[in-house]
Structure 1
């Protein structure tokens, strides 16, 4: 870690809990960055900042509702006044809901897009002039496996995350000449407090069947991937989407009892085509 990097300023949205909290803590305490912890929950963000400061780091809480695009645009200069504009931007905050595609209300759609797409765009636009001027910057947008693979009840959420991935690539190709990188990560199921509160035993069992590693990821595992893309070591990586998902995106049919009973493969064996192999010559 260089002394230059030790002076970095980072802004982490959704920094009051889960993945965002671990990113903020690691940036401040392991990489000596000055960190803005941006969240709509004042108590949660204050608790994260208090913990960072008590451990010897530097951080400040920023109370912002990302759903209010107009207010966000008005407040970004004020929000980043204490440490100056960010060198590292982690757009982690997002909202989700299980909604059938044909039943998605316009209000639900707009709320999802405002938080998951518009707010990251506005924050990138705010950070980029500073990053381009110093010819260094790291932007990491937290998308989702739902932005890569479709799922039932995920139309508005999955569409917004697919848009975030596409938008990351658009920004990446335009700002690359200034040494600024823009990447996305696509987490799979993660064992956050929110997931523990909302995922039923049935949901967890379902993910267990679909994820080759047969478990949820941890906030630390996702945070470490984010920190890599925000590091000096990732200087030649831009416009990419890294799935941090235990193999979910890579998987097709999973035979989870393969190692217990080799006959399990027969259930998925392809049907015979009816063609026979001819002899040569």
Structure 2
């Protein structure tokens, strides 16, 4: 798939959860467009392996320690990257996850875990990045959300709430920062293939899920990464407070049965 003609030369980007899957694709596309991309990943060895691979291609990437989700830890992360590179132009909060639990199984730890990495971390990361972006009157704040923010999920009501909160936060942040040359947007992936990861990655389950997607296929990490690349670019300078849904049409029909009626 060819790289779109977006030029991020001299931009410095920070991507949390950038070691594999969607995060690795985002890192790769930003780096291919010329940005120096710093990967903040809890599994440092995974991030180091990606950096080694991209470095062989002549792409500028590096890693930063990412093991604290609180306000202080994320401020230290952002300030460290900005100090090392003398600037910070793009932050992508891609780190996420959720301990699945039905409503009756949900406890304080599971709720806090979902809110902490998906919502709170996005807020603290953005807050820490804003002063560095204001100094140059340019910035891109991007968060990987999910179509779960608008769809019901059995065992994932707390995850849906966190992602809906992300979208609401981004709209408010975009409004506050509009006069500073800083945009804030999210991308909402639908079903994205994660080869070799979890029961949903089996060929049988992927085929079953694909039947309920209007486009008839599972999405790829690059489908999300190219949306992020656009939002990070100069070409998206007039786009803020928005969410790009990348789901192959999953959220279009009223139910999965509508897809079956249309395509069988």
TM-score by length of 1: 0.85
1:118-175 deviation line (CA, Å, top 9, x unaligned)? 1111111111112122111111110000012122111111111111111111100000
C-alpha distance in structure 2 between counterparts of 1:249 and 1:111, whole Å: 26
Identify the match of residue 163 of structure 1 among 159, 162, 165: 165
C-alpha distance in structure 2 between counterparts of 1:107 and 1:63, whole Å: 24
* Paired position in structure 1 for 2:192: 190
* Paired position in structure 1 for 2:21: 18
1:207-247 deviation line (CA, Å, top 9, x unaligned)? 22432112210011110011111111111111011110000
C-alpha distance in structure 1 between counterparts of 2:182 and 2:157, whole Å: 31
Calculate the aligned-residue CA RMSD, in Å.
2.1
C-alpha distance in structure 2 between counterparts of 1:61 and 1:71, whole Å: 16
C-alpha distance in structure 2 between counterparts of 1:164 and 1:62, whole Å: 24
| SS of alignment partner, residue 110 of structure 2 | helix
| SS of alignment partner, residue 98 of structure 2 | coil
C-alpha distance in structure 1 between counterparts of 2:120 and 2:23, whole Å: 19
What pairs with 1:1-281 in structure 2 (closer than 5 Å)?
Answer: 5-28=8-31, 30-193=32-195, 196-199=197-200, 201=202, 203-253=205-255, 254-256=258-260, 258=262
Shift of 1:178: 1.4
C-alpha distance in structure 1 between counterparts of 2:263 and 2:61, whole Å: 49
Structure 2 gap ranges (5+): none
C-alpha distance in structure 2 between counterparts of 1:200 and 1:52, whole Å: 26
C-alpha distance in structure 1 between counterparts of 2:69 and 2:98, whole Å: 13
C-alpha distance in structure 2 between counterparts of 1:107 and 1:259, whole Å: 42
Question: Relative to structure 1, is the Cα distance of residues 72 and 119 closer, same or farther in structure 2, using a 3 angstrom cutoff?
Answer: same
| SS of alignment partner, residue 154 of structure 2 | coil
TM-score by length of 2: 0.90
Instruction: Compare 70-79 and 50-59 and name the one that shifted more.
Output: 70-79
Instruction: Compare 89-98 and 232-241 and name the one that shifted more.
Output: 89-98
C-alpha distance in structure 1 between counterparts of 2:229 and 2:6, whole Å: 15
